Amino acid sequence: MANSHDHHEPPTSNAQQACVPAEIAAPRARLEPRRPVGFFTALMLFWLRPKRYGPHLAAGSFLKAFAAHLFAAGAILLMMLALWSWNRRGSYLYNYYDTGQSLRADMAGMIVEASVLTTDYLDHLSGFKGLEHWLSNGGWWLVLVTCIGIELSVVFLGTVVMPYAADGDRSRSVWKRSVKNAYWCTVILVPLMLAHVALSLATDWWGSNRTYHSGGLPPEGWWSDPLTLAAGALAIGSFILLLRALIVGAHRCVVGHDGSVQAMREPRCDRCGYLLRGLPNDSKCPECGLPALDSIEGRHRTSLWQQHESKSRGIIEAVRMQWVVLGGTAMFQRVPLHRGVASARRFWWVTWLLIVLGLQMFLRVLIGIAPFDSMLRAEAKSLSIYLILLPFVVHCIMMFVACVYAHWRYGIQDYRVSSIVCYYGAPLMWPLLIVLLIAGVLVYEPLLPLIDRHLGKVMLACAVLALGCGLFWWMRLQQAIRLVRYANV
């Protein structure tokens, strides 16, 4: 980014042999060449090994990624139609859906639910003539809008998770790789759909050979029913596989040996942004006096967390850094901002684990002091499921906004800089999540009568606190990005 401290080229002499270069490339751990991956090999193995095949597929052709997406959509549609046809023949699964008594069938058919629930509507379409009549009355508009919405959703998903794909290349390259990876991730839905269909058929067979409780589950509870457990495990496994592929599928940039996609930038003073091009390496910044080598080779050194993250002391350092980050932004001037992506990501996952455990304990305390009976306590504990996803979703949105802001405001095209700031800034969301948790418990149905008279004031107070905590998080991130906007290391 242009700076008012730009200067003219200094005169050269024999004593000034080693000078600051005119441009420097974004440092990377390694430059891996791209290798071709067969289309059918990718279809069969990408969902199992996204870390190995994903970067090469994300650097490949967009048409290939889109073809894989269309293949996945067609395969899923065929399986949904096959299951719908099976259900029309009077299967146990369809009968339970029709009577509304099968909780097991509802869990087992999480993805194929749409095809089953629309059976009654499709029955009104009497063969091809009925379908032709539906399309002629504007139904094709619904099909068209649905298809466009699905494609835009995939592009939006790839855009939101693009900070996870930052690896020293330009922002345009990061976006392309992230979107192509999102299209390849839809392939994962094919084996997951097969598993859901198999589980639905197993539910059909199991239900036709066993008499269930009138509520759809045995009296012992859901934990004693194997198909319900399998459905829950499949749903959790599906989410983990899809999330893993989105995050690691494009986490590194594979290019040719020339490294043409790397983001080049002018060397500037790490403290004030003075253009150092052509200055001797042993000189100092004319503006602030910082040695040039401190800006080029970097003041940013490995932190205690990076030194001990693989040891038992790593957890202690991670907990200590929670307070350091909450206390100020000085640490961002010391951590590596180009070569420390992997370590910063691991810090984020440790922070996510600490946040989840802390919120779970805080929720248990709130439930313990609330006037709940045993049944309502069990229902209130269902909030713990959302506490697992909430930190990840909130942080993902904030990181995307921060990367876009840093690109627009400071011209930071290397998204690793903004991403690392957000990774190490993850502890800043502690106050916001605690306020959201308190608000969620207060509006829970058993507590509403206690605050009914002051519900508006309580919700207004929670909204103000949440807004303040969100602004605190955002302002700290802005300060950190401003501090590291000239970082060269």
pLDDT in tens, 194-212: 887 777 777 666 655 554 4
Phi, psi of 24 (to 5 degrees): -130, 145
Averaged over 139-160, what is the pLDDT? 83
- Look up residue 265 and give its DSSP letter: E
Evaluate whether 356 touches 391 at the Cβ level (below 8 Å): yes
| CB neighbours of residue 469 within 10 Å | 19
Residue 218 to residue 355: CA distance in whole angstroms: 36
CA–CA–CA angle 486, 173, 3 (5° rounding): 25
Binning pLDDT at 50, 70 and 90, where does residue 240 land? confident
SS3 292: helix
* Average of per-residue pLDDT across 211-230: 51
Matching residue, tokens 């070569």: 339
Residues contacting 153, CB < 8 A, separation 6+: none
Give dist(CA 398, CA 472) in Å, integer: 12
Of 488 and 475, the one with more pLDDT = 475
The DSSP 8-state label assigned to residue 334 in this structure reads T
Q: What is the C-alpha separation between 444 and 211, in angstroms, rounded?
A: 35
Rounded Cα distance between 343 and 365, Å, is: 33
Query: Amino acid identity, residue 360?
Result: Q
pLDDT, position 477: 94
pLDDT at 18 over 80: no
User: Which residues are registered as beta bridge partners of 280?
Assistant: 19
Would you call 291 helix, strand, or coil by DSSP?
strand
**Mean per-residue pLDDT of the chain:** 76
The dihedrals phi and psi of 255, each to the nearest 5 degrees, come to -140, -175
Helix and strand numbers (H, E) in the chain are 21, 4
- Three-state DSSP at 210 gives coil
Q: Is the pLDDT of residue 227 over 70?
A: no
Kindly state the average pLDDT of the residues 126-131.
47
Q: Which three-class secondary structure state does DSSP give residue 12?
A: coil
Q: Of 146, 157, 179, 158, nearest to 73 (Cα)?
A: 146
Containing 24, the helix (H) or strand (E) segment is strand 24-25
* 250: nearest Cα among 340, 190, 188, 180: 180
Give me the amino acid identity at 57: L
| Helix H or strand E segment including 94 | helix 92-99
254: enclosing H helix or E strand: strand 254-255
CA 249 – CA 62 distance, rounded (Å): 15
Q: Are 430 and 437 in contact (CB under 8 A)?
A: no
Region for 301 from its dihedrals, namely left if φ exceeds 0, alpha if ψ lies in -120 to 50, beta otherwise: beta
* Mean pLDDT, residues 219-240: 65
Tokens, residue 437: 């948790």
pLDDT in tens, 23-74: 665 555 456 788 889 999 999 899 889 999 999 999 889 999 999 999 999 9
Q: Where are the beta strands (DSSP E) in 139-182?
A: none
pLDDT digits (tens, 9 = 90+) for 355-394: 999 888 887 777 676 655 555 555 556 677 778 888 988 9
Give the other-Cβ count within 10 Å of 117's Cβ: 12
Query: Is pLDDT of 185 > 90?
Result: yes
Name the CA dihedral angle for 112, 117, 119, 121, rounded to a multiple of 10 degrees. Answer: -130
Q: Name the least confident of 15-19, 174-178, 245-249.
A: 15-19
Distance from C-alpha of 92 to C-alpha of 205, rounded to nearest angstrom: 8
Query: Per-residue confidence at 224, pLDDT binned at 50, 70, 90?
Result: low
Structure token digits, residue 104: 């097991």
CB 415 within 8 A of CB 174: yes
- Two structure tokens written together for 217: 């589950």
DSSP 417-429: HHHHHHHHTGGGG
C-alpha 72/C-alpha 323 separation (Å) is 46
| Token digits of residue 176 | 């392309």
* 101-123 average pLDDT score: 44
Q: Are 105 and 93 in contact (CB under 8 A)?
A: yes
The percent of the chain in helix, strand and coil, each rounded to the nearest 5, is 65, 5, 30
Per-residue model confidence (pLDDT) at position 178: 93
